[in-house]
């Protein structure tokens, strides 16, 4: 890894990835549609544009000349993808194909021969019987949401480039992750925000919540970023890897941990406006393939995630 190209670099995971790469003396090119947040401008060379524009993509690849690509850009919020499916397919699939095509053309011209990490989602797996958890990479993919379907299609397209053209593509199927900077429309930061607003409220004050039965596998964003870097260095092209902890937390358990860490004695009350249809009641992944391939292991606890979010919410 000497010259790294990161798409979606101004997003939640992108900003953490740039921080992790900044201390390694790498030449980093960051692609984004929005301006770099905070100190991010100093961490990379920024090229702003839309991955749906073929001219922008080809120009960015030519400027970066990457030996490593981490493709993070996506519509990653499930309700947002569901509200505009055509946009989700265009951004999550078609734009990915444009990027792969531009990288493939540059490789065919013998200008670069990059390792390309395509970041997918655990949502691709869909529903499975309880005895299958934690899920391994050979589990059937049966996506149940627009977002999940676009990520499964993205993976199919990416691995086709590996099989047909030899572009060194590998895939991360990332389970839930959170930490400083994640938007409050996602579960954990939303719960932390609600808890913080109730810190001075009397014990027993109602706290609105949605579904509390789903079970999810959470990692700290810094561990996810470390996994991506490890995969770029030691992963095998043509393979998919779960990025997961192997431990499931119900939303009820998550809520209890958030309230305990925040020191809040609120009473959770179901708010119908926050209740969403649950397409996948349980989603927990097996990280052993990733660990065997790269030596990666998680270093941050679930409480670390909550504490980082609490610290950020009170700044």
pLDDT digits (tens, 9 = 90+) for 67-97: 999 999 999 999 999 999 999 999 999 999 9
Question: Please, what CATH class does the domain formed by 187-214+248-281+308-313 belong to?
Answer: alpha beta
Give strand pairing partners of 5: 29, 69
Q: Are 76 and 91 in contact (CB under 8 A)?
A: no
| Alpha carbons 213 and 123: distance in angstroms, whole number | 17
Q: Starting at the earlier edge strand, list the strands of the sheet with 240-243.
A: 45-48, 27-32, 3-7, 68-71, 115-121, 168-174, 240-243
pLDDT tens readout for residues 11-22? 999 999 999 998
Q: Classify residue 35 as exposed, middle or buried by CB count within 10 Å of its CB (0-12, 13-18, 19+).
A: exposed
CATH 3.90.25.10 residue spans of the chain: 187-214+248-281+308-313
Mean pLDDT value of segment 198-205: 92
The pLDDT of residue 276 is 78
Question: 123 CB contacts (<8 Å, ≥6 apart)?
Answer: 78, 143, 144, 145, 147, 148, 151, 280, 283
The CATH code belonging to domain 3-178+218-246+285-294 is 3.40.50.720
Choose among 197, 190, 193, 180: nearest CA to 211: 190
**Is the per-residue pLDDT at 38 higher than 80?**
no
**The three-state (H, E, C) secondary structure of 194-263, written as one string:** HHHHCCCCCCCCEEEECCCCCEEEEEEHHHHHHHHHHHHHHCCCCCEEEECCCCEEEHHHHHHHHHHHHC
Q: What's the whole-model pTM score?
A: 0.96
Helix segments in 25-67, DSSP class H: 54-64
> Between the CA atoms of 4, 45, 225 and 160, what dihedral angle is there, to the nearest 10 degrees?
-40
Share of the chain above pLDDT 90, in %: 88
CATH 3.40.50.720 residue spans of the chain: 3-178+218-246+285-294
Average pLDDT of the chain, as a whole number:
95
């Amino acid at each position: 890894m000497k010259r790294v190209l990161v798409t979606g670099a101004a997003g939640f995971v992108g900003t953490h990835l740039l921080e992790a790469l900044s201390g390694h003396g790498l030449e980093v090119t960051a692609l984004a549609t929005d301006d770099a947040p905070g100190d991010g401008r100093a961490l990379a060379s920024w090229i702003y544009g839309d991955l749906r524009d073929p001219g922008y993509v080809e120009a960015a690849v030519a400027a970066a000349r990457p030996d490593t690509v981490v493709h993070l850009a996506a519509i990653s919020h499930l309700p947002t993808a569901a509200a505009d499916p055509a946009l989700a397919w265009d951004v999550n699939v078609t734009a990915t194909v444009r990027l792969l095509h531009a990288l493939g053309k540059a490789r065919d011209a013998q200008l670069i021969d990059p390792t390309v990490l395509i970041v997918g989602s655990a949502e691709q797996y869909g529903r499975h019987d309880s005895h299958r958890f934690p899920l391994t990479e050979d589990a059937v993919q049966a996506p149940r949401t627009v977002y999940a379907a676009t990520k499964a299609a993205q993976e199919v397209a990416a691995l086709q480039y590996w099989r047909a053209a030899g572009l060194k593509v590998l895939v991360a199927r990332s389970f839930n992750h959170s930490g400083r900077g994640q938007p409050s429309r996602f579960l954990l930061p939303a719960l932390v925000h609600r808890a913080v607003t109730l810190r001075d409220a009397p014990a027993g004050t109602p706290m609105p919540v949605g579904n509390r039965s789903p079970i999810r596998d959470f990692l700290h964003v810094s561990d996810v970023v470390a996994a991506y870097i490890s995969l770029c260095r030691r992963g095998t092209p043509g393979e998919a890897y779960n990025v997961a902890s192997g431990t499931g937390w119900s939303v009820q358990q998550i809520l209890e941990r958030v309230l305990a860490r925040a020191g809040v004695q609120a009473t959770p009350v179901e708010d119908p406006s926050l209740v969403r249809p649950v397409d996948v009641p349980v989603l927990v992944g097996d990280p052993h393939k990733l660990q065997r391939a790269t030596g990666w292991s998680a270093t941050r606890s679930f409480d670390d995630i909550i504490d980082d979010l609490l610290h950020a919410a009170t700044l």
